[in-house]
Amino acid sequence: MSLLNPRILRFDSIDSTNLEAMRQARAGAAEGLCVVAREQTMGRGRLDRSWQSPKDAGLYFSIVLRPRLETSAWPLITLMTALAVRDALLRSSGVRADIKWPNDVCVNERKLCGVLAETVDTKIGPAAIVGIGINLKADSLPPTVYDLATSVEAVAGVKPDSVGVLAELLKAIGERYDLLQSPQGSEHTIREWCANSSYAFDRQVRVALENDTFEGTTRGLEADGALRVETAGGKMRFVRAGDVNALRATR
């Protein structure tokens, strides 16, 4: 998918770019429609959590995709997007970021970006709504997330050029999405993810599931993107939803 000339809907303020992209998809929007807002009043994370989205402090972006993928491969869209964000940050701002399973892009264990991929049924078939929030400015993060977040400005030491970040993001999503849908695309995406995430192998983590918490060592990804975690008792568990946190830092 070439995103060199995408259709971008821009808003000064909106509830959530994901919600708007979902509304557009339901109304028949084609693949590649993008929504960008200067501020979100109801920015969303996973599991009904919120994404702090102060005005002009970050990039708040969503895109409508209509993937030609087996349903089992749809979770790879989140991993592909995190890779695209990593590419875009490197090319636009020289920032080297880590990827934390499944949807965080971090620097020094602090969250620089979150990805929220959702699915929606529409008259012309199922769509994936992929939302990306990237903190750009250093001084705008609210106290609630101050300790766990960072921004491109804080990491790069200069004010980021948001137009340049968006341009690289569109390019990187186009490339990574094409690769994911090509023959062997799933395997390729998983290999690339493992090569670019310090969480892929041999990382001591605590996994928080909806009704359970356990610790173990990461052992790569399953074909559908699930994180393999080996417990102290030698049992392999496959994490498909939940939060993963490192027990100690490596980078």
- Could you say which of 49, 96, 240, 251 contacts ligand BT5 (CB under 6 A)? 49
Using CB under 6 A as the binding rule, the residues of this chain from 133 to 162 that contact ligand BT5 are 133, 135, 145, 148-149
Whichever of 20 and 185 has its CB closer to ligand BT5, that residue is 20
60 binds ligand BT5, rule: CB under 6 A: yes
The count of other CB atoms within 10 Å of the CB of residue 236 is 11
Q: Pinpoint the alpha helices (H) of the chain.
A: 17-26, 76-93, 143-146, 152-156, 162-181, 185-196
92 binds ligand BT5, rule: CB under 6 A: no
177 binds ligand BT5, rule: CB under 6 A: no
Name the minimum Å distance from CB 49 to ligand BT5.
Answer: 4
Give me the residue whose beta carbon is nearest to ligand BT5: 114
176 binds ligand BT5, rule: CB under 6 A: no
The count of other CB atoms within 10 Å of the CB of residue 233 is 7
Peptide linkage before 102 cis (omega within 30 of 0): yes
Using CB under 6 A as the binding rule, the residues of this chain from 99 to 138 that contact ligand BT5 are 103, 111, 114-116, 131-133, 135
78 binds ligand BT5, rule: CB under 6 A: no
Cβ neighbours of residue 211 under 8 Å, at least 6 residues apart? none
Q: How far is CA 181 from CA 131, 146, 161, in A?
A: 19, 37, 30
Whichever of 48 and 70 has its CB closer to ligand BT5, that residue is 48
Q: Could you tell me if residue 157 is left (phi over 0), alpha (psi between -120 and 50 degrees) or otherwise beta?
A: left
Residue 173: strand, helix, or coil: helix
What does the binding site for ligand BT5 look like in residue numbers (CB under 6 A)?
16-18, 40, 43-47, 49, 51-52, 60-62, 103, 111, 114-116, 131-133, 135, 145, 148-149
